[in-house]
Chain A
Amino acid sequence: MSNYQQDEEQLQRLLRGDHADWKKAYDEWRTPFLLYFHQQGITDRDQVLTLLQDAMVIMFNNITTHKLQTPLQSELRTYLFGIGKRLYWRLRSENSKAWNDDIPETPVAPEVEDKEEQRHRADLVRRLLSQIGEPCRTVLDMFYLRGYSMEALAEELELPSEGAARKKKFDCLKKMRDLL
């Protein structure tokens, strides 16, 4: 029996990447995050908000790419605070590690990717999508960005079966690869 059963259930929901679930989480964690960093003496609110957003993106990435898995070693909220702490250290240099609190060291994936690098890669997909044409653009957008299942995708695009949707997606990915 896990110590963090509720958080693990929430993790399963967040894993799907549905923004509605993530918004709920953001609304739940935002105020505690601001309070926590304020208590640590970081009084610049805008700085903490930037920290929160960066930490949320890393958490989103780590969850949707299965880097964070069950069984959890802490609450999800604590995990987020841990990422925020690491980001803050990175900003302030390692000297500021004298941090008097009860947030454990959080196993954040080592490649906390640079924001600019992320943007560059995102732009690449946007460019490829603009070249790939329809219906591939819609198929890939629905599957990768809007989280449609193959079944839902088939239904939405009026394809005869789930298998046909898989095939369509396969063709589109190949086409995309060839454009690289």
Chain B
Amino acid sequence: MSDELVLLEKIERYHTGAMAPAERSQWEQILKTDETLRTEVLAYAPVFGAWQALRNDQFRQSLGAWEAEWQEVEESEAIENWLTSQSNDAWVNQKMQADASFAEKVNQHKQLLEGFSAARGQNFHSAMQSWESKQAPLNTTTENTGATIRPLWRRWAAAAVITPLLILVAATYWYANSNYSNQSLVESYYQQPSIGNTLSGQGATIDELTAAFNTAHDHLYNRRYPDALKLFEQVETMAATSQIDDLSKQYFIDNAQWSKALALLGNDKAANAEELLAKIAGNPSHAYHQQALELQKNLHSFLRRLSN
């Protein structure tokens, strides 16, 4: 049995090309003279040949799968180029119309790209804030050294440096206007409270207070700032005189004050808003103390000044 095993392993190495050249040549010499061995070797030829064919066939199937992965990569790149207008591949349009799942894929890709764009915007925002914090005081004592004549190439070089700066400045102005105007600040600081029915069952005054509070927030949410302001003043008064528990009372008053500040700002009455904010920021136990401090900081920021 052991000899048989050794022999079969040798036959296998011969058929699978694993024999070293010298051993192979010696083996082939033996095969020429030994007919029994030759018959045995030939009998195994189709077995090993078929195994290799099967391996090749399985490899071909794997290749198909790898290529399918590549096709997906290339399709995704084509969609991205199409969405970002780097290409106007008509096939993307055609395929979207013909294939609902492809259209869904494009839609998902679009959402992803929008998400990345928003994330980039936030990074840009953070970067701007960091530039602002590092901003050196402006040097107001510039010395006039007289006019100098510069060669043309230096002007071009200067232009090459200045052009991106101008674009950056324009982008900064745009960004400041989009994010630091009165209305933008209100939108970024405003959060609608979820009152629901948590206060029900505490008497008619509570119901009225809750109704007024909700309506006031509805005005603020829909940017009807004068109406919101009026109603929040009422809410504040109603809350102060109501019979509700102290914790709820404080919540209504604090929220109404903070909301009034936002409504004033939204109504372009920044000075009045700042007065109110100073009151809130000056009271560490106020529920909106921290937000007021942040908003104050933003109202005095470099970008805010750019937006005005």
| Interface positions of A (Cβ within 8 A of B) | 17, 19, 22-23, 26-27, 30, 49, 53, 56-57, 60-61, 64-67, 117-122, 124-126, 128, 140, 144-145, 166-167, 170, 173-174, 176-177, 180
B67 within 8 A of A: yes
Pick from B1, B9, B66: contact of A27, CB under 8 Å: B66
Q: Is the CB of A144 within 8 A of B60?
A: no
Chain B 10-42 against A: per-residue CB contact (8 Å), 1 yes, 0 no?
001000111000000000000000000000000
Q: Is the interface of B mostly helix, strand, loop or mixed?
A: helix
A96 to B90: give the CA distance in the assembly, Å: 34
Pick from A60, A66, A170: contact of B8, CB under 8 Å: A170
Q: Is the CB of B60 within 8 A of A53?
A: yes
- Chain A nearest CB from B169 CB (Å) reads 41
Given A66-B17, A145-B54, A170-B4, CB of A180 within 8 Å of CB of B64: no
Between A and B, 18 residue pairs with Cβ closer than 8 Å are A23-B66, A26-B66, A30-B70, A60-B59, A61-B52, A65-B17, A117-B53, A121-B46, A121-B53, A122-B53, A122-B57, A124-B50, A124-B53, A125-B51, A140-B51, A173-B12, A177-B43, A177-B47
CB closest chain-B residue, reference A17: B55
B56 within 8 A of A: yes
B58 within 8 A of A: yes
B115 within 8 A of A: no
For B46, the chain A residues whose CB sits under 8 A away are: 121, 124, 180
CB closest chain-B residue, reference A119: B57
Q: Is the CB of A170 within 8 A of B5?
A: yes
In this complex, how many residues of chain B approach chain A with their Cβ under 8 Å: the count is: 31
Q: Is the interface of A mostly helix, strand, loop or mixed?
A: helix
Pick from A30, A67, A121, A126: contact of B49, CB under 8 Å: A121
Give 9 nearest A-B pairs by CB, closest first. A121-B53, A66-B17, A122-B57, A65-B17, A125-B50, A122-B54, A125-B54, A122-B53, A121-B50
Pick from B1, B8, B53: contact of A118, CB under 8 Å: B53
